[in-house]
Amino acid sequence: MQTNAGPPDQDDDWPGRCVEALVETSKLVTAVVARSLAQRDPGVTVPQLRVLVMIGSRGSANVSAVAEALGVNPSNASRTCERLVTAGLLDRRPAPQDRRQVSLTLSPEGRRFIEGILGRRRAVFAAVAAEMSTADQERLAQGLTAFLEAARSTGADGARGAEGEHVLPWTL
């Protein structure tokens, strides 16, 4: 595990400034996410998008796994998934290992939907990064890679946040 040691010339508030930079960056990322979603299909909500991204990254999931990963009760997850099935973005089939279970996967339309949104995000982020020097782009990539690795480790280890909730479980 890393210590909070920063650059040698850091001041005492380096960790706080780092957190504030991440909070401000999260606002930008959230705005890009919301805009890419609104440009693609205003009928898909952010929670529905979370379900699509999660299922797309896992390959498949059942409603219980969706509920657990998103921290909602199974009836909410079921309603959300049902809306996505009705919209043609998810396919629902009996699970191969247990036909009593239902397996949810992205439909071809759901895959195109996610690819379209991610393509819009990539275009915005590429335009912003193009305004940075090559050295700054490299430092950003290294820092974000390290941050993502720490986030995955925190989530995988079952670490808990300030209010006792699991940290980042739905992103894994």
Residue of 75, 73, 71 lying closest to 83 (CA atoms) = 75
**Domain residue ranges in the chain:** 31-122
| CATH number listed for the domain at residues 31-122 | 1.10.10.10
CA distances from 129 to 79, 121, 123 (A): 39, 12, 10
Over residues 18-23, the mean pLDDT reads 88
* Neighbour count for residue 123 (Cβ, 10 Å): 12
Both structure tokens of 82: 């049902």
Listed range (57-71, 118-132, 157-171) with the worst mean pLDDT: 157-171
Q: What is the 3-class SS of 35-104, one letter each residue?
A: HHHHHHCCCCCHHHHHHHHHHHHHCCECHHHHHHHHCCCHHHHHHHHHHHHHCCCEEEEECCCCCCCEEE
Claim: this prediction has a pTM higher than 0.75:
no
55 contacts 92 by C-beta, under 8 angstroms = no
pLDDT attached to residue 41? 64
What confidence tens digit (pLDDT) does each residue in 22-81 have? 899 989 888 888 787 777 666 888 888 889 988 998 899 999 989 988 888 999 999 999
